[in-house]
Structure 1
Amino acid sequence: MRTAPLRHLLQALRQTLLLACAWALGAGAAFASDTTAELEKTARDWLQPALDAALPQDASFPLRTEVVMGSLDSRLRLAPCARVEAHLPPGSRLWGRSRIGLRCVEGPRRWNVYVPVTIKAFGPAWVVKRPVDAGATLSQDDAELAEVDWAAHPSGVLARADMWVGQQTAFALTPGLTLRENAVRPQRAFGAGDQVRVNSSGSGFSISATGLALTAGLVGQSARVRLPGGRVITGLVQPDQTVEIAL
């Protein structure tokens, strides 16, 4: 006899719960929408000071930056948070395509989301003027200065001429290509087993000897040489195919 009233009571309770869930979902969506806008503002406010600190400070190479901020996923549903902290994720840098982390550090549930960002940094750099074969030695006439986006490629820009003039190309270069660290390799001065001249100088003296190269000599890098008495020294390879040692 009590089955019908009990059934009506359960149905009413179910309807009440459904209404409560619907209200909660609506409120949650509104909260998420407001929070998304606030989070993106937090990321923007954090970015400029961090970018100023991260960019090269050399006045010889002034860079003009452009920032393209992305957006958070509008479907995000985040728990309320009293304090959000912006940060740069480990292994990331504010250069080219990157992202800004936003984490809840004070709230009932911790979370971490990311805002995509693209950093462009325009400044003077050397650009190839004409085709250059792989393995060729670069000369001053092979490139000219132009404004390029330094952050367009992970490899660093060779901003000064002395960083690439006399270097060998690692691959064939095409006109318009920016000269970067991956485009060149040190010039080979001698091979392992070659006889090389070893020099050293100081205040009021200079010493010169001939030794046997134990490693290949690349200009600007270290090489090991065995002297006639059997002593093995390490010195810096010079463009004139000699090795300079410091005493």
Structure 2
Amino acid sequence: MRNLKNTLMLTLTLLSPAAIAQDLTQQLDAFFVQRLAGFSDSVKVSLRNPGNAMPQCEQPALSVMGNNKLWGNQTVQAQCGTEKRYLQVFVEATGNYVVAAQPVVRGTKLEPGSVTLKRGRLDQLPPRTMLDINQAQNAVSLRDLAAGQPVQLSMLRQSWRVKAGQKVQVIAQGDGFSANAEGQALNNAAVAQNARVRMPSGQVVSGQVDADGNILINL
């Protein structure tokens, strides 16, 4: 009788809201660890709305709703069969991000020593902080940067591969067809951006800038 009572008490404990919430938090941790692989190596998830929002199965299917944010406040859909519950969570993430290694003057082309990686809380950073240091390679700063300042993507632009007024080669390619001619660029453009070109005939064409500064047009 005592063993039966103990078993019932253990079962009730395991099924208690606190135990269920703890198990769900572990599942959320695992879900976001996988989601943030390559960005963060330390993730902690806090469940903000337990209670009626709790899914009614042990292994709900989890998915993130409504935005492209990787951390901070998130809405997670927890689905059990046809039933859906919506969980409000806060995701703490720690990892590397890019900061200015030294003061950088607006208009300066970044060198390898201009930026470095720093480890810290990604969810506390300004929006669109750069995480991949390779994105800063050959970029130009659009504003003054202080040493140690997180670098946001909006603070940089890629170096111009083509400048307005420059003579460029326009290469047009199609199925079994290829032709090239010289024209004059009408706008500044970086690699993989579009450039408009005035041809000797006066016609204006548009194509993508390649690494050699040519303008590629696919027909």
Query: How many pairs were matched up?
Result: 195
| Higher helix fraction (1 or 2) | 1
Closer/same/farther in 2, CA of residues 117 and 104 from structure 1, 3 Å limit: same
Residue 122 of structure 1 aligns to a residue in which SS? strand
Most deviating of 89-98 and 221-230: 89-98
Partner of 1:72: 49
Closer/same/farther in 2, CA of residues 160 and 144 from structure 1, 3 Å limit: closer
Closer/same/farther in 2, CA of residues 66 and 56 from structure 1, 3 Å limit: closer
Residue 65 of structure 2 aligns to a residue in which SS? coil
- Work out which of the two has the higher radius of gyration on C-alpha atoms and give 1 or 2: 1
Equivalent of residue 40 in structure 1, options 13, 21, 24? 21
Residue 190 of structure 1 aligns to a residue in which SS? coil
Residue 245 of structure 1 aligns to a residue in which SS? strand
C-alpha contact 2:169 2:181 (8 A) present in aligned 1: yes
CA deviation vs aligned residue, 1:166-211 (integer Å, no higher than 9, x gap) = 22223321211233422211234423xx242226599xxx987431
1:243 CA drift (Å):
3.1
Partner of 1:174: 146
TM-score normalized by the length of structure 1 = 0.59
Unpaired runs of 5+ residues, structure 1, are 1-33
Partner of 1:234: 207
The answer to whether structure 1 residue 53 and structure 2 residue 34 are counterparts is yes
Unpaired runs of 5+ residues, structure 2, are 1-15
The answer to whether structure 1 residue 245 and structure 2 residue 216 are counterparts is yes
CA deviation vs aligned residue, 1:115-146 (integer Å, no higher than 9, x gap) = 422231313x4321222233332222212333
TM-score normalized by the length of structure 2 = 0.66
What is the correspondence of 1:153-168 to structure 2 with a 5 Å cutoff?
A: 153-155=126-128, 157-161=130-134, 163-168=135-140
Partner of 1:116: 89
Partner of 1:87: 62
C-alpha contact 1:72 1:114 (8 A) present in aligned 2: yes
Distance in structure 1 (CA, Å) of the matches to 2:136 and 2:53: 53
Distance in structure 2 (CA, Å) of the matches to 1:190 and 1:143: 26
Partner of 2:71: 96
